[in-house]
């Protein structure tokens, strides 16, 4: 009986833990955003890829805890930073392959969120996924150019 009770309560404890972790993630994201904005031109691409990846994790957490409005707002920030990432791609970009790999993993996680998210949120998710895949393809083409 104790095992059954523990098994039933375990997921509830995980939800509380995830929700309480959101403020910590917000601090880490603001630090990453500051690093990306202030990075040298050749490092900005990778820094924005890191930021987009981390923000996607936060959006996944928000959607999984039922906070769809916050998840959509986070996706909006993801799209803004994907645009900055795209603008920072250049010939002298360092860590180009690492940025491309991060975008590939980010697209995979967005597809997972898309399959689990409520129907109302699918448009924002599809738009974000399309933008991430486009940048990932652009990064891949730059990697192959070199």
Q: Which residues of the chain have pLDDT under 50?
A: 1-20
> Total domain count for the chain?
1
Domain residue limits at 86 = 2-145
- State how far the alpha carbon of 93 is from the alpha carbons of 14, 42, 65, 85, 115, in Å: 39, 4, 37, 11, 34
Distance CA 22, CA 108 (A): 22
| Residue 13 pLDDT | 40
Distance CA 85, CA 107 (A): 15
| CB-based contact 138:86 (threshold 8 Å) | yes
pTM more than 0.85: no
| Residue 70 pLDDT | 93
Neighbours of 26 (CB within 10 A): 13
Neighbours of 135 (CB within 10 A): 24
| Residue 22 pLDDT | 57
């Amino acid at each position: 009986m104790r095992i059954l009770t523990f098994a039933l309560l375990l997921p509830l404890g995980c939800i509380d833990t995830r929700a309480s972790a959101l403020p910590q993630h917000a601090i880490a994201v603001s630090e990453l955003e500051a690093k990306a904005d202030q990075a040298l031109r050749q490092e900005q691409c990778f820094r924005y890829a890191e930021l987009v990846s981390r923000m996607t994790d936060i959006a996944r957490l928000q959607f999984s805890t039922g906070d769809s409005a916050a998840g959509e707002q986070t996706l909006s920030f993801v799209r803004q930073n994907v645009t900055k990432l795209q603008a920072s791609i250049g010939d002298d970009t360092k860590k180009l392959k690492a940025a491309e790999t991060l975008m590939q993993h980010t697209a995979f996680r967005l597809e997972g969120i898309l399959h689990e998210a409520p129907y109302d949120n699918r448009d924002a998710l599809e738009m974000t996924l399309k933008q991430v895949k486009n940048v990932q393809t652009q990064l891949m083409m730059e990697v192959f150019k070199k």
